[in-house]
Amino acid sequence: MNWKFWTKKEEDHKKPKSKIREWWDAILFAVIAATLIRWLLLEAYTIPTSSMENSLLVGDFLFVSKFHYGTRTTSTPLQVPLTHQKIWGTEIPSYVEWIKLPQYRLPGFTSVKREDVVVFNVPTLAENNINVPEANWIEYPVDLKTNYIKRCVGVPGDSLKIVDRQVYVNGSALANPPEMQFHYHVMSSQLINKINYESIGFQGHEIAIQQSNEGYLYNIQYSPAAIEALKAKKLPYIKSIELAPELGEGTDSPRFPYYRNPYATAKTYSHWTRDNFGSLWIPKEGVTIPVNENTLTLYGKTIVLFDHNDDAKIENGKLFIDGKEVTSYTFKQDYYFMMGDNRHNSLDSRYWGFVPADHIVGKAFFIWLSINRGEGGGIRWRRIFDMIH
Is 51 an annotated catalytic residue? yes
Give the Cα separation of 118 and 289 in Å (integer): 27
CA dihedral defined by 50, 52, 56, 60, rounded to 10 degrees?
-50
Residue 283 contacts residue 165 (beta carbons within 8 Å): no
Catalytically annotated residue among 66, 145, 150, 301: 150
| Other CB atoms within 10 A of residue 81 CB | 12
Marked catalytic residue, from 51, 65, 188, 349: 51
Contacts of 307 (CB under 8 A, 6+ apart): 331, 332, 333, 356
Residue pair 231/201 in contact by the 8 Å Cβ criterion: no
Q: Is 313 a catalytic residue?
A: no
Partners of 43 in beta bridges: 64
- Give the single-character DSSP code of 15: P
Burial state string for 310-338 with b = 16 or more CB within 10 A and e = fewer than 16: eebebeeeebebeeeeeeebebebbbbbb
Q: CB count, 10 Å around CB of 33?
A: 10
- The values of phi and psi at residue 297, to 5°, are -65, -40
Partner residues linked to 367 by β-bridges: 62
Comparing CA positions, the residue from 115, 112, 121, 105 lying closest to residue 40 is 105
Which regions of the chain does DSSP assign to beta strands (E)? 42-46, 60-65, 117-121, 147-154, 159-163, 166-169, 172-173, 182-188, 208-212, 215-222, 238-243, 277-281, 288-290, 312-315, 318-321, 324-326, 328-330, 335-339, 355-356, 360-370
Which residues belong to the active site? 51, 150
